Structure 1
Amino acid sequence: MEIIVLADEEQQQEFLSKKINPEVKIIFTGKTFQAQTANADAIFILLQEIPDDLRAINKTPVFINAVSKTLNHFPIDNVHRFNGWNGFINRPVWEIASNHENIVTQVFKMLQWQYTLVKDEPGMVTARILSMIINEAYYAFGEGVSTKKEIDLAMKLGTNYPYGPFEWANKIGLNNIYGLLKILEKNNERYTVAEAMQNEMENKKY
């Protein structure tokens, strides 16, 4: 089995930190893949930017790091979404949104990886919940409840999380959290972006 992976250096390291079936050949590329797809059994796009030549891939399964965009945003039908935010690539179980679970099962069986199928909605499950937690932390920070450092420490000690909400925001990228919340708040006001987060985005203090 041969898999093409579009990823930056940090994403490559996180991808390789997962145990992969030694019979699977992994080929890392930059931002394009059209010339190398002839023999590929699957393509994984970990990059935030979607390649312009995506339309050319009409048969090979394409797994895209698309936390906020749903499947109908893509010009081809052979796309499967996953959460590829920093810190989520090496998780033991991936969240996948797909219209073709049989294909997902085949690819992940070869990789010897686990997945769980989720609804094709912005944020899927984990990213949606984590974004809400981070947003609530910004509400508390903006209201002067405590400092970012103290909120992070309290959350780690109180919930045994590996990171505090602001540490998660820095690791994932506040722009990614903000972008997802702006999509979600259109249909549900409980996702309304905290003023403190909005101010940081406008002033680029992240």
Structure 2
Amino acid sequence: MKIVVLADEVSFDTIRQLDTEAAWVRITDEKEFALHADADAWFDLSENAMSNNHPAAAIPLFIHAVTDVLPSNKKAIRINAWKGFLENESWEVAGELNDLEKAILSHLNKNTIICANEPGFISARIIAMIINEAYYAKGENVSTEAEIDTAMKLGTNYPYGPFEWAQKIGVQNIYALLKKLSLQDSRYNPAPLLIKTAAA
């Protein structure tokens, strides 16, 4: 199986661990997809994946897009490739999976959770809110980052505390998702400290 991936080195190294037998090819520009028309799947895990111009082909295309949604004219499957999410046993996906796309995900040993084509999927939206609340708590001098992280890991058995998640995912990514969600619901308004941190 040949899988072509547009990604940074960290994301590429993470995804290729899903199948060490496959022929993984890392590319650095969207135009390079056209050079791999023999691939079994294309993955665009770049930060601007949704706006990239992907060649028209019958090859399954998986696009990293947490904040943006699939336009009706884009034939692709939307996934969450935030740092820390590619390793999950299950992937949240948006888009209509055909048999070929299901086979690719099955080959990669991924269970799929079909989500509405909405910003944030399920888990990213919830984790962003937890991180946001942690920034509110720190900004109001409730506790320190280390104490909040420890409390959440011990109290909820999460693998990371909210500030550890924010560092892993990227505060700018959390901010972008919350900002997008807040356009429809004010409960997603980013905490002042999170806004300040994202701008730094």
Whether the TM-score (by the shorter chain) exceeds 0.5 is yes
Q: Residue 26 of structure 1 aligns with which residue?
A: 24
**Amino acid in the other structure paired with 1:68:** T
Asked if the contact 1:21/1:111 (under 8 Å) is kept, the reply is no
3-state DSSP class of the match of 1:105? helix
Q: Residue 15 of structure 2 aligns with which residue?
A: 15
TM-score, normalised via structure 2 length: 0.91
**Percent identical:** 41
TM-score, normalised via structure 1 length: 0.88
Aligned-pair CA distance for 1:100: 3.4
Q: CA RMSD in A?
A: 2.0
Q: Residue 146 of structure 1 aligns with which residue?
A: 143
Q: Residue 76 of structure 2 aligns with which residue?
A: 79
Q: Residue 171 of structure 1 aligns with which residue?
A: 168
1:125 to 97, 119, 122: 122
3-state DSSP class of the match of 1:91? coil
- Asked whether 1:135 is paired with 2:132, we answer yes
- Asked whether 1:196 is paired with 2:187, we answer no
Asked if the contact 1:31/1:51 (under 8 Å) is kept, the reply is no
Aligned-pair CA distance for 1:158: 0.9
- Asked whether 1:186 is paired with 2:183, we answer yes
- CA deviations 1:84-111 (Å, max 9, x no partner) are 0001111111111112343431221333
Q: Is there any run of 5+ residues in structure 2 with no aligned partner, and where?
A: none
Return the alpha-carbon distance in structure 1 between the equivalents of residues 137 and 61 of structure 2: 40
Q: How many residues align?
A: 199
Q: Residue 62 of structure 2 aligns with which residue?
A: 63
Asked if the contact 2:15/2:87 (under 8 Å) is kept, the reply is yes
2:113 to 111, 116, 119: 116
Distance 1:120 1:67, change over 3 A: same
Q: Is there any run of 5+ residues in structure 1 with no aligned partner, and where?
A: none
